[in-house]
Amino acid sequence: MPANKKRIAIEYARMWPREVFDIIEDGKLTIKETIGPLTKPGVYVLYRDEHPYYIGKATSSLFRRLHDHANKSTDKYFNLWNYFSAFVVDEKHIDEVEGILIAAMPTANSAAPKINQIRVPEKVAKILRKARQRKFNL
């Protein structure tokens, strides 16, 4: 990639276990010393087993946001996930990337993506309904 071309997504961590936030050695949270890229802003996906459960963004630090989800018992999603993926994203594009992920996956997110939805045209929907009716003899 040319040096002058800025990328939207820079790095990612895929399907890391939530337990990485529980490993403490010598009184220190071990992961904190080894995850430099996750101190950057970005977008993350919380999974319940292998199913996406929640998509969120971190405007300052992915690590801090994920750590809160994992360790604050008052967090809305505290008991509902066991894996996460994180994407280090250029700050100008965080809302767009979050919106794309929310639109692409069924999750518990109550927020609507901040991008316009293209709906199936009524004419096409009508044709599809008729075809389904014929298929099921309705």
Identity of the residue numbered 62: L
CA-closest candidate to residue 89, choices 14, 5, 10 = 10
Domain range annotation of the chain:
9-135
pLDDT for 83 equals 96
C-alpha span between 77 and 71 (Å, rounded):
10
pLDDT for 132 equals 85
Give the single-character DSSP code of 138. Answer: -
Q: With 0-12 CB in 10 A as exposed, 13-18 as middle and 19+ as buried, what is 1?
A: exposed
The answer, as to whether pTM is greater than 0.85, is no
C-alpha span between 15 and 82 (Å, rounded):
9
Looking at domain 9-135, which CATH architecture does it have? Answer: 3-Layer(aba) Sandwich (3.40)
Cα 91–chain centre separation: 15
Give Cα separations from 136 to 57, 120, 122, 127, 130 (angstroms): 43, 22, 21, 14, 10
**3-state SS class at 49:** coil
E strands along 39-138, which residues? 42-48, 51-58, 83-89
Token couple for 6: 């800025």
Per-residue pLDDT of the chain (138 residues; tens, 9 = 90+): 455 578 898 899 999 999 888 777 777 766 666 677 888 999 999 999 999 999 999 999 999 999 999 988 898 888 889 999 999 999 999 999 999 999 888 777 766 777 777 888 899 988 888 888 887 765
